[in-house]
Amino acid sequence: MESKLSVNHLLGIKDLNASDIELIFTTADNFKEVINRPIKKVPSLRDITISNLFFESSTRTRLSFELAEKRLSADVINFSASGSSVSKGETLIDTVNNILAMKVDMVVMRHPNPGAAVFLSKHIKARIVNAGDGTNEHPTQALLDAYSIREKFGKVKGKKVVIVGDIMHSRVALSNIFCLQKLGAEIMVCGPTTLMPKYISQLGVKVEHNLKKALEWCDIANMLRIQLERQDIRYFPSLREYIMLYGVNKQLLDSLSKRITIMHPGPINRGVEITSDVADSAQSIILEQVENGVAVRMAVLYLLAGAKN
Ligand code: CP
């Protein structure tokens, strides 16, 4: 197996090959063992400074990256757009170059604009990790999702995964599709026609609009949040109707002919895409996903820090 990634930045899963993903997973296996020790820290990135730039809200990704960096002994500086000089008109490149002038080696960035991470990688001299760029990609979420499937089932290849909900506005859906395909899973998307992107048939996934049929088909259902903040028009008549057609409750889960696994990238809208008794059930691996996020992000940062130009 390769010992180095084929990329210098993590901008999207689209740029990775299956060997890169396997390398991230085997590296994450080692770090998962580390973070379950009484002393959870290793000196791997002791001389590295990492800046976390968050131009959009985040709980899981921001905290998980910060913890991953600290577990690797990196120096960490955090930036959020609110309260910064971005509100005074400073551009993205000026903001980042000023941060880099303080001798920063790596940048983790979440930004509302698709392509922001790619743009940055072309204009600044630092490793870039995309922590979510608008509706484009969320590569570390897809990696931790696939890693959690591998942990639960022993492999990803051949597993049937349905991604349910707002596919059109979801960077998690796109990155998951790329990642799971590279690892040999079968993928279905399920949701209302209005929330399916026009290019969906070109992605090589099955499309199903009937939730019960989709759940009967799958081993794993990855439930997405309706991204009201990215919707400029109404894509379905009412939230009540959406819940009736695309929400998973315990009664529906128990009516299936097999026991499926429930995933969710968070944040959950309890009572919309899933009810609390589903989110908190023994079939849910939502908190395992969050736990695995730290080990997977440690692996990504560690491998990118060692990448050659
Ligand atoms: N899954 C995810 O990206 O969550 P946050 O928006 O809280 O980071």
Q: How far is CA 211 from CA 109, 145, 158, 192, in A?
A: 34, 21, 21, 10
The set of residues, in sequence order, having a beta carbon less than 8 Å from that of 241 and lying 6+ positions away, is none
d(CA 257, ligand 1 centre) in Å: 32
pLDDT in tens, 168-190: 999 999 999 999 999 999 999 99
pLDDT exceeds 80 at position 232: no
CA of 151 to the centre of ligand 1 (A): 21
Atom of ligand 1 nearest to the CA of 64: 8
**H or E stretch at 127:** strand 127-133
**For residues 8-27, average pLDDT:** 98
Nearest CA to ligand 1 atom 4: 60
Name the residue with higher pLDDT: 291 or 82.
291
What would the DSSP string read from start to end of 84-104? SGGGGT--HHHHHHHHHTTT-
Question: Which ligand 1 atom is nearest residue 57's CA?
Answer: 6
Nearest CA to ligand 1 atom 3: 61
**pLDDT class for 262, splitting at 50, 70, 90?**
very high
Q: What is the pLDDT of residue 231?
A: 66
Within 6 Å (CB) of ligand 1, which residues are found? 58-61, 132, 138, 141, 265-267
Looking at the domain 139-288, which fold is it? Rossmann fold (3.40.50)
Residue 230 confidence class, pLDDT cut points 50, 70, 90: low
pLDDT, average across residues 67-88: 91
Q: What class, spelled out in words, does domain 13-138+290-305 have in CATH?
A: alpha beta
Condensed to tens digits (0 to 9), the pLDDT of residues 193-224 reads 999 999 998 999 999 999 999 999 999 999 99
Residues of the chain with CATH 3.40.50.1370: 13-138+290-305, 139-288
The answer to whether the CB of 4 falls within 8 A of the CB of 303 is yes
Tokens 């049929």 correspond to 213
Q: Is 86 exposed, middle or buried (0-12, 13-18, 19+ CB in 10 A)?
A: middle
For position 85, what pLDDT does the model report?
84
